[in-house]
């Protein structure tokens, strides 16, 4: 029978040293009970704890860390469907470059500098794959070195030969980069290179049974820092294989397939590439390597990824505070809305587009939208007034005009009672009507 968090805590050192990333041993024990952590993350776990908890404490999909300067996790998932709890570690997006590309420097700069802002989060490319194109090993090594130095990202090696992979691995020591295309024939040598340089392996085989043998061989040798690279040849086969592996890991606790995955996408057609990448993001892909740097494709894939990997139980929120829109002064009006990220970014965007300078007050509403927060008693007149006073709004402005969303016009009286001397204006219901409201009513 699975142990509870409290039972597991009794087996931990109880020093609360935080080295596992949790604030207390109890918090770490709770994660172990939920299979969201690995006992090996506690460096002080006793032999007794290891023998009692053993494999049962491991998450069904083993988490690994990719990259050192900007580390990201792959695996660690505990559910098959996002709505059952949440997906934890998002699909990493990598871009492939060829070692003989005459525009390599410019492409690496594009990859390094790519930034996408969505609901307050800055999204970037996670890794770069370097593919050897031709026989020139020295050129490949130079490209690997340049990629690591220019981007600071994890490098995925497609070396084309064991000797080139070993030489390139030495250049990436301590970066948590990935040696890809590792086959049964060079498994032992690649494991040695990975252990020596602190890298991961992406293991591959012509069929899933052979891949399972490789996975079990590595595990028996005490090496688990790897991901699975399925050798599938069509989109339906990839889709099916990803699902079979993840179901086996989570439903049947089948350890040999309980690892993250890596997939190189190269269909020769940008639309098909995008469809394959979408399949990876929605169906359990660990690292998805795109064949080219295409900002338009990245926008859609990263936005989709953000949606899939957002915790459905925790709305994305912005920090409760008073935000300046434009260059507000003491005569500027105050707008109020909730701290649900989507609401905040839509309202702030419309205010910016209108050209007005104002203050945007965002009280704590537990990430709920306007009507939901009002229904839950988190966006009442007294709640907003209390927040504005705590933020010392009266020391910031003389204008004493506050605009509330049209959907909660019913709180205007309560807000005026709690904010003596202020004029409460009921704004439009839809943010898209803010510009007209500002032109026609506020000015
Ligand atoms: S590293 Fe171990 S001892 Fe330290 S807080 Fe985590 S569980 Fe407790």
Top CATH class, 5-57? mainly alpha
Residue 257 backbone class (left: φ over 0; alpha: ψ -120 to 50; beta: rest): alpha
Q: How far apart are the C-alpha atoms of 276 and 272, rounded to whole Å?
A: 6
Best of 10, 44, 49 for a ligand 1 pocket test (most atoms within 8 Å of beta carbon):
44
Res 296 pLDDT > 80: yes
Query: What is the third-level CATH fold of 64-308?
Result: TIM Barrel (3.20.20)
Nearest CA to ligand 1 atom 4: 17
Pocket test for ligand 1, best of 12, 26, 50 (most atoms within 8 A of CB): 12
**How many CA atoms are closer than 13 Å to the CA of 13, on its beta-carbon side?**
14
Report the separation in Å between the CA atom of 431 and the middle of ligand 1, taken as the mean of its atom positions: 47
In this predicted structure, what is the pLDDT of residue 54?
A: 67
Q: Which atom of ligand 1 is nearest to the CA of 45?
A: 2
Residues contacting ligand 1 via CB (< 6 Å): 12-13, 15-20, 22, 25, 28, 42, 44
- Could you tell me the distance, in angstroms and rounded to a whole number, from the CA of residue 12 to the centre of ligand 1? 7
The 10s digit of each residue's pLDDT in 268-287 is 899 999 999 999 999 999 99
Cα–Cα distance, 294 to 277 (Å, whole number): 13
CA-to-CA separations, 416 to 70, 257, 321, 397, 441, in angstroms, rounded: 49, 61, 20, 17, 19
Position 56 scores a pLDDT of 63
**Stretch 331-358: mean pLDDT:** 94
Q: What is the DSSP string of 209-275?
A: HHHHHHHHHHHHTT---EEE-----SHHHHHHHHHHHHHHHHTS--GGG-B-BEEE---SSHHHHHH
pLDDT digits (tens, 9 = 90+) for 6-37: 888 898 999 999 988 889 999 999 888 877 77
- pLDDT at 121 exceeding the cut of 90: no
- pLDDT of 47 above 90: no
Q: How far is the CA of 276 from the centre of ligand 1 (A)?
A: 40
User: Could you tell me the maximum CA-CA distance found in the chain, to the nearest angstrom?
Assistant: 80
And the tokens for 52? 């009692």
Rounded to an integer, the average pLDDT of 180-196 is 97
Q: Indicate if the pLDDT at residue 93 is higher than 80.
A: yes
CA 15 to chain centre: 30
What confidence score (pLDDT) does residue 313 get?
76
Instruction: Please name every residue paired with 290 in a beta bridge, in sequence order, or none if there are none.
Output: 95
Distance CA(111)–CA(301), nearest Å, equals 15
The counts of H helices and E strands in the chain are 16, 17
The DSSP bridge pattern shows strands 358-362 and 423-426 to be unpaired
d(CA 100, CA 83): 44
Tell which atom from ligand 1 comes closest to the C-alpha of 16: 5
57 C-alpha vs ligand 1 centroid, how far in Å? 15
Please name the residue whose Cα sits nearest to atom 2 of ligand 1: 42
CA of residue 75 to ligand 1 center, whole Å = 22
Alpha carbon of 398 to those of 223, 291, 321, 437: distances in Å? 66, 57, 19, 21
Q: Where are the domains of the chain?
A: 5-57, 64-308, 321-442
Q: When comparing pLDDT for 83 and 340, which is higher?
A: 340
Write the pLDDT tens digit of every residue in 298-311: 999 999 999 999 88
For the domain made up of 321-442, give the CATH fold.
Answer: Rossmann fold (3.40.50)
What is the average pLDDT value for the chain, to the nearest integer?
A: 93
Residue 35 is predicted with a pLDDT of 73
Residue 1 pLDDT exceeds 60: no
Q: Ligand 1 centroid to 13 CA: how many Å? A: 7
Tokens encoding 4: 């509870």
| Range with lowest mean pLDDT among 227-231, 250-254, 422-426, 427-431 | 250-254
pLDDT > 70 in the chain, percent: 98
Best mutation site among 9, 18, 20 for ligand 1, i.e. most ligand atoms within 8 A of its Cβ? 20
Which of 42, 46, 49 should be mutated for ligand 1, with most atoms under 8 A from CB?
42
Stretch 420-429: mean pLDDT:
95
């Amino acid at each position: 029978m699975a142990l509870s968090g409290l039972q597991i805590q009794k087996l931990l050192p109880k020093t609360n040293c935080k080295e596992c990333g949790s604030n207390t041993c109890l918090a770490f024990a709770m994660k172990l009970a939920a299979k969201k952590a690995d006992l090996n993350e506690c460096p002080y776990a006793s032999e007794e704890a290891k023998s009692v908890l053993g494999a049962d404490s491991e998450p069904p999909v083993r988490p690994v860390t990719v990259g050192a300067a900007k580390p990201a996790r792959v695996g660690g998932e505990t559910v098959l469907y996002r709505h059952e709890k949440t997906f934890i570690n998002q699909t990493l997006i990598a871009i492939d470059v060829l070692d003989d590309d005459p525009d390599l420097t410019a492409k690496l700069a594009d990859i390094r500098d790519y930034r996408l802002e969505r609901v307050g989060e800055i999204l970037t490319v996670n890794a770069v794959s370097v593919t050897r194109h031709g026989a020139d090993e020295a050129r490949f090594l130079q490209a690997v070195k340049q990629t690591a130095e220019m981007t600071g990202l994890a490098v995925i090696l497609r070396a084309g030969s064991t000797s080139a992979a070993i030489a390139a691995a030495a250049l990436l020591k301590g970066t948590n980069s990935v040696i890809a295309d590792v086959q049964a024939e060079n498994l032992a040598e690649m494991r040695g290179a990975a252990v020596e340089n602190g890298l991961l392996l992406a293991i591959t085989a012509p069929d899933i049974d052979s891949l399972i043998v490789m996975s079990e061989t590595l595990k028996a040798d005490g090496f688990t820092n790897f991901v699975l690279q399925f050798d599938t040849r069509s989109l339906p086969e990839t889709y099916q294989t990803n699902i079979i592996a993840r179901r086996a890991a989570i439903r049947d606790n089948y350890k040999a397939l309980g690892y993250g995955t890596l997939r190189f996408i190269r269909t020769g057609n940008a639309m098909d590439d995008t469809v394959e990448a979408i399949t990876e993001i929605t169906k359990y892909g660990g690292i998805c390597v795109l064949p080219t740097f295409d900002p338009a494709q990245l926008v859609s894939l990263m936005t989709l990824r953000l949606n899939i990997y957002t915790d459905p139980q925790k709305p994305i929120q912005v920090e409760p505070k008073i935000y300046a829109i434009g260059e507000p002064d003491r005569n500027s009006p105050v707008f109020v809305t909730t701290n649900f990220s989507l609401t905040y970014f839509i309202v702030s965007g419309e205010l910016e587009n209108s050209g007005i300078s104002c203050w945007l007050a965002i009280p704590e509403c537990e990430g709920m939208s306007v009507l939901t927060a009002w229904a839950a008693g988190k966006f009442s007149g007294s709640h907003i007034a209390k927040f504005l006073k705590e933020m010392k709004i009266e020391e910031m402005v003389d204008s004493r005009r506050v605009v509330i969303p049209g959907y909660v016009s019913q709180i205007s009286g309560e807000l005026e009672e709690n904010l003596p001397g202020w004029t409460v204006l009921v704004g439009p219901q839809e943010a898209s009507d803010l510009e007209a409201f500002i032109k026609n009513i506020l000015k």
